[in-house]
Amino acid sequence: MNYEESSSKEKIEEAFHALNWDLSLKAVLDALKNHDAVAYSSECARIFLGLLAIKSSIRLPLTEITQTEVAQLMEEETVNRGSDDNDTFAQNGGQIPRAWVLPSHLDFFISIYNVPSISAIQFENCFYQIRLCLEKTTTLIEALLSKEPEPMREFEKWISSPTTTEPYVDGHVRLKETQTFVYDTIMGPVQIGIPPETIKTSLRNREDVPQYYVLPPLLFAEDINFGEVEFPIFFNFFIKQAFKDPSKKVYVVGNASHLERVKTVFKESIFGPDPNQTFVNQEISGERKQFGYTIQMDKERDALAHKNKDGSSAKLTDFANFLPFDENGIATITKDLEDGQKQELKIANLDGLIRFYENGKYTAAVDTNIYQSRGHQSEKKEVAQLPECTFEPPTFGVTFLGTSHGFDKNGNTTGFIIWINGRGIVVDPPVQTTDYLHSQGIKTSIVDKVILTHCHSDHDSGIIRKIITGEKIELYTTKTVHESYVRKMNASTGLNITDYYHFIPVSIGLPMPIAGALFEFDYSFHTIPTVRFKVSYAGQSISYSSDTFYDPKTFSDLRERKVISPEREISLRMFVFDADLIIHESGVPPIHTSIATLNELPRSIKKKMVVVHCAQIPPTVEKELMNGKKVTVPVTDLRIPECGLDQSIRLPVPPFEEGYCLASRRFKLISEVFLFRKVSPPTLYSLYTDFRLVIVPAGHVIITAKTRSDSFFIIERGTVTVSDEETGETTATLRGGDAFGENALRMARLIPRAANVIAKTETHLLTMTAETFRNIIQRDELQESRIDYDIEKITRNREFVRSVLSETYLFKDVNTEQINAIAAMLEEPRIFSKDSILIKEGDRDASLFLIKQGSVRLERMGEDGTPRILLTLGVGEMFGEVTVLTGLPRTASVYANEDQTVVLELKKHSFKRLMSIHQNLRVKMALQVEQRMKEAVKVEEELKSPLVRSLSGKLLSGQNVSPRNSQNGLLK
């Protein structure tokens, strides 16, 4: 063997040794030469588990017990296939005997997965990783047998390359969209996972909208609900006319608990709140009640509700079939054929591995566990370059984000931003809203309020992404609508969703100030409780009809039938039409307003109106004359508004309001700087008055590296880049609201600049000299020392947070402000030698830790008093979060795995503050802790296993444990 091959061998073995998992490649060759199937299975198991630990997204606990269990499975597979005595290593030309080649079929992967210490940690895309690592085990052995150095070098490159994942698929299962799959069965297409707007994807792809859906193991992952059944059910029920032919109804297959959650969501969408869950009379202001204004919500909804052919009210099961997996994880769908035969489709579920059996024959499988993206650093993804932000929000105006409906394959659902004093209130945000604003360089804190009109998924699906993107938002709606939304979201996400935002209830008929404007709310005429509103500012007004069936003839009929009062009829007829800008919906009656009805409005009103909730306005409509005859008439003066920030509608306001908008926006900008978060109001005002505006052209060097600090900057508008002095590499791109140059504010003022800062566009900067800042801040010594301490910690920890933590699951989406917040909250580094204890099982201390250097292992005591390794964690990963969040004692002991292991402590009070402010971190942390708790339960069960205790005792006592003599009691 030449030097290059030997060097590659050493590097591969070192990768295993780094996990405290010894590997002897010579032992593999010896087992082959000696034709020792037991030893060969044992060594293959050692290689396989080591590769799985290295390449999986969360490191597998490596133990001799796990090796024994996997080796047993490998040996049994060899015995079952039979071994040709003549097929020895020597007689086979130095190649692996055919009977000893590791299997590559799904049943074997499942057997490996069922080993408790593996299934206890449902790492991302586990079946793909199992298959890949089994293949690579064979590849490594073949490379050892090769006389060429290249195979070993290629394997070394693979083992050291970043982890990549892809879905495990067997058969003709295809990826439809993000984390969603389709398999064409004898029954028709079956879709696994139901993200928002999935029927639009089908329509855009010119594919049939599926009738059959399977819920994934996680209904809510990242910020996406994968149980959005509303529009698939509606499409099949109304468009495909399942209301006429029940055999066309949607089937939703899933775990019984998931189905109950999905039914809760769908019930709120199709039927709305129960009578005892509506609070309309409480929500109407006393003044409106004095004038006789009442809303009989249940009667209004009943007038619009879908009825069965016999006139009875529809039930939930009239719209869809909800089919649970049985105790064996199997759901069966049958279909009668015209010739009297039956077709049968069985769908089997094993912890998210979905398998299909058609007429009794296995045909396909897909692993849906790709949602569980947790763990250490993975392949670094290319970050899209954002455009230079040149948008200046209106003082008063509207930006439309979408103007269409849930069945339009090309348009976004209706939603828009109302701008008041340069700050945004988003109404019914489409699911693309957060991504769109980010792509345009708009900070989430600029649009921090949401108005929810009602709980149909084309209006409320985007709110969850807004809620968990950054800081807590304010959600405005009525109590009735809000509680319906809470029931939906709690069921969809499994979270207590009200913990993640501030709810501000609105009243009906009582003017309410929001963000400096005056809002008036009312209920529209719709199938479920739906809020509409008017907003006034500086003598201008905007009104929104929300989803409604506007039809004066129907209103007259309802009044005569005592369904609505005369005062309610007037409100339904007139509420929105006295505004300067009228936003009115349109769609298919009797749920929505027809274009024909809007076309009948006076020209003076239509000139002020924009039409939403429709894909296009027809050139002509039918009009019914007084004699009942219908004629075709042209549609005039109705238009759909353009979408996008550059198409924003700006209403004219007086110069005073323009000046006030600029001043309030600037004050808000300064007060939101992280370093000033605890500054007293008088000091903040002094800072505000002494900041100076500087406008620099594109290409201007604002800060030169290694020069002394003198000024601090806040970007009001524009884009700047931060680059490394030596490499020239851009390390950060900053936009409106970001600050830089904070070292100028430190008490030790001779600190040189760390990087170059250059204006990428014309940039408006608010700047303050160090001397001016000191003159203001020295009036409060406590504030001065606190800011100095924060800057010191930010300077020390920011690069670790930006370059290491930001590549991990929990922190991968952090922005500049969050990076600074995390960096400022981390305590001094703590250094541990190998095998030092960091946390003791059962303790109740309240901190969590981030690994800056080295690695740690988590251990738990079994019932027999022997320790078991649960996890091995590396750089960028955290531990201790379960105790901090739950208050439970430490669930495991944590030891340093190597010398010079460095951890950073995040104390409980700092962690709680971080989670209370930044909802994206809080949601991910909640999901991660939930997963860790589930893993802990599985590990607890494993530790109690008689076989584990037996094997553990033999291994600790030095006895030889042969896989051939082990019992297969651990297999599920």
**pLDDT tens for residues 426-444?**
999 999 998 898 888 788 8
CB proximity list for 310: less than 8 A, separation 6 or greater: none
Question: Which residues are registered as beta bridge partners of 851?
Answer: 903
CA distances from 571 to 335, 567, 578, 593 (A): 51, 6, 12, 16
3-state secondary structure of 239: helix
Q: Is residue 60 part of a domain?
A: no
Task: Report the 10 Å Cβ neighbour count for 670.
Answer: 19
In a domain, 605, yes or no: yes
Q: Specify whether 642 is located in the same domain as 669.
A: no
Q: Where are the beta strands (DSSP E) in 573-663?
A: 581-585, 609-612, 620-624, 630-634, 649-650
Residues 366 and 272 in one domain: yes
Q: Is the distance from CB of 583 to CB of 524 less than 8 angstroms?
A: no
pLDDT of 945 reads 53
- Among 621, 650, 679, the domain-final residue is 650
Q: Identify the residue whose tokens are 């003709």.
A: 172
> What whole-number distance in Å separates Cα of residue 367 and Cα of residue 112?
15
45 within domain boundaries = yes
- Strand ranges of the sheet holding 169-170, from the earlier edge strand across to the other edge: 169-170, 361-367, 353-358, 342-350, 330-336
Question: What are the structure tokens assigned to 160, written together?
Answer: 């050291």
pLDDT at 965: 34
Q: Is residue 602 part of a domain?
A: yes
| Residue 968 pLDDT | 31
Q: How many C-beta atoms surround the C-beta of residue 806 within 10 A?
A: 21
Looking at the domain assignment, is residue 791 inside a domain? no
Same domain, 853 and 873: yes
pLDDT of residue 419: 97
Neighbours of 897 (CB within 10 A): 21
Distances (CA, A) of 881 to 649, 667, 836, 933: 47, 36, 20, 11
> Of the candidates 356, 371, 386, which is a domain's last residue?
371
C-alpha pair distances (Å), 211 with each of 335, 581, 936, 952: 13, 42, 38, 50
- Cα separation, 85 vs 98, in Å, equals 11
425: β partners? 418, 449
Amino acid letter for position 138: T
In degrees and rounded to multiples of 5, residue 442 shows phi and psi of: -90, 125
Q: Would you say 19 and 25 are in contact if contact means Cβ atoms under 8 Å apart? A: no
pTM for this structure? 0.86
Which tokens belong to 871? 């996890």
Q: Which helix (H) or strand (E) holds 480?
A: helix 479-493
Same domain, 484 and 577: yes
The DSSP annotation for 37-103 comes to HHHHHHHHHHHHHHHHHHHSSSPPPP-HHHHHHHHHHHHHHHHHH---TT--TTTTTTS--GGGSPP
Query: 725: which strand partners?
Result: none
Q: What percent of the chain is helix, strand and coil (3-state, nearest 5)?
A: 40, 25, 40
Domain that holds residue 313: 188-371
Q: Are 442 and 685 in contact (CB under 8 A)?
A: no
Maximum pairwise Cα distance, the chain: 101
Q: Which of 779, 813, 828 is the last residue of a domain?
A: 779
Burial of 968 (0-12, 13-18, 19+ CB in 10 A): exposed
Q: Is residue 857 part of a domain?
A: yes
Cα dist. 3→7, 10, 148, 161, 849 in Å?
A: 6, 11, 11, 22, 42
- Return the CATH number at 712: 2.60.120.10
Relative to beta strand 473-477, strand 447-451 is parallel
Same domain? 449 vs 470: yes
Pairwise CA distance, residues 789 & 798, whole Å? 14
Compute how many other C-beta atoms are within 10 angstroms of the C-beta atom of residue 266: 24
Q: Can you list the pairs that 187-191 forms with residues at least 24 positions away whose Cβ atoms lie under 8 Å?
A: 187/211, 187/212, 187/333, 187/335, 187/343, 187/345, 188/212, 190/214, 190/345, 190/347, 190/356
Strands (E), 446-559: 447-451, 473-477, 501-505, 512-514, 517-523, 531-537, 540-544
Low-confidence ranges of the chain (pLDDT < 50): 1, 3-4, 371-386, 947-972
Half-sphere exposure in the Cβ direction for 146 (13 Å, CA): 17
Instruction: Give the Cα separation of 100 and 44 in Å (integer).
Output: 10
Return the SS3 of 601: coil
Assigned token pair, 455: 């709980």
Going by C-beta distance under 8 Å and a sequence separation of 6 or more, which residues neighbour residue 352?
A: 122, 216, 217, 367, 368, 369
Task: Clarify whether residues 708 and 740 are in a common domain.
Answer: yes
Look up residue 609 and give its two tokens: 């109106």
Same domain, 361 and 468: no
How far lies 445's CA from each of 102, 450, 767, 790, 917, in Å? 54, 12, 21, 22, 12
Q: How far is CA 496 from the centre of its chain?
A: 16
Which class for 857: exposed (0-12), middle (13-18), buried (19 or more C-beta within 10 A)?
Answer: buried
Task: State which amino acid sits at residue 911.
Answer: F
Q: Are 610 and 601 in contact (CB under 8 A)?
A: no
Same domain, 422 and 503: yes
Q: Quick one: 407 and 366 in the same domain?
A: no
User: Is the same domain home to 926 and 889?
Assistant: yes
202 CB-side CA count, 13 A = 23
Number of structural domains found in the chain? 5
> What pLDDT, on a 0 to 100 scale, did the predictor assign at position 382?
41
For residues 693 and 828, membership in a common domain is answered with no
**Which two three-digit tokens encode residue 963?**
């896989």
- Is 634 a member of any domain? yes
> What b/e string do you get for 863-892 counting C-beta neighbours within 10 Å, with b at 16 or more?
eeebbbbbbbbbbbbbbbbbbbbeeeebbb
Strands 473-477 and 501-505: parallel
In a domain, residue 158? The reply is no
Please tell me whether residues 364 and 478 are part of one structural domain.
no
Whole-angstrom distance, CA of residue 51 vs CA of residue 158: 10
Kindly report the three-state secondary structure assignment for every residue of 502-528.
Answer: EEEECCECCCEEECCEEEEEEECCCCC
